[in-house]
Amino acid sequence: MHHPVRGILITRPEPGASETAARLKAMGMMPIVAPVLEIAAVDMPPSRLDHIAGTLLTSRNAVGSCPVCCHGRPAFAVGDTTAMQARGTGFMDVHSAGADAVALAELVAAMLDPRAGPLFLPAGQGQGQALARDLRARGFRVIRRVVYRAKLPDALPEAARRHLADGDVGAALFFSADSARHFVTLVRKAGLGDAVKRVEAVAISGRAIVPLSALPWRRISVAAKPNQDAMLALLS
């Protein structure tokens, strides 16, 4: 049976999943929203942050947890989406590295003196350690706090299971190595490993490819830049 319109599977957590779906609809494509991670906030222990020189934002999920005292100091965001989120939340002086954590460390080192004070790094559980190490090696003090964690569902979301089983998925989008890894686990658990043979996997970065290569995709493509625009460009 021929499926003229094949859907695009979106595996990222909300609220990003719905935003991506709206972008795909505007491009005339059929989004299938099936997050394989859920973001849950973690209560941050009270920290004195009124003496910081700046805030490091490696994910939009961390922005809302920053106390208001951070808003008057510079914020350094990993990319433009996170930077936009920070501005919308009340940060007044926001700089975007436009790429990844390596570029973020370079940006901070170019703009700040380590003697100006410590840097606040609100991060996800298991996230941000490499950035903190990089900056500490350059003489900065980094206060890293876990402010959210990813919760993993036990089974493949029903929408993903149904569309994969019916063979009407044309591509699947992966915005992180974590979501790629968990998707592979859940697809195998559902007995649908072979169902991806006609599907193109589109990854945000090279790191996300590693777990994906365990499945027999039609092909795996990596975005030219680690952002959504570059991922969507691969679909058009």
Does 2 score more than 80 pLDDT? no
The answer on pLDDT for 213 being more than 70 is yes
**pLDDT for 74-98, tens place per residue?**
999 998 889 999 999 999 999 999 8
d(CA 47, CA 69): 11
Residue 228 above 60 pLDDT? yes
Residue 231's pLDDT is 96
Dist CA 98 CA 22 (whole Å): 23
Q: Give the relative orientation of helices 129-137 and 101-111 as an angle to the nearest 10 degrees.
A: 30
pLDDT tens digit sequence for 153-165 = 999 999 999 999 9
- Binning the chain into helix, strand and coil, the percentages to the nearest 5 are 40, 20, 40
**Residue 160 and residue 8: Cα distance in Å, rounded?**
10
**pTM score:** 0.80
Q: What is the mean pLDDT of the chain?
A: 93
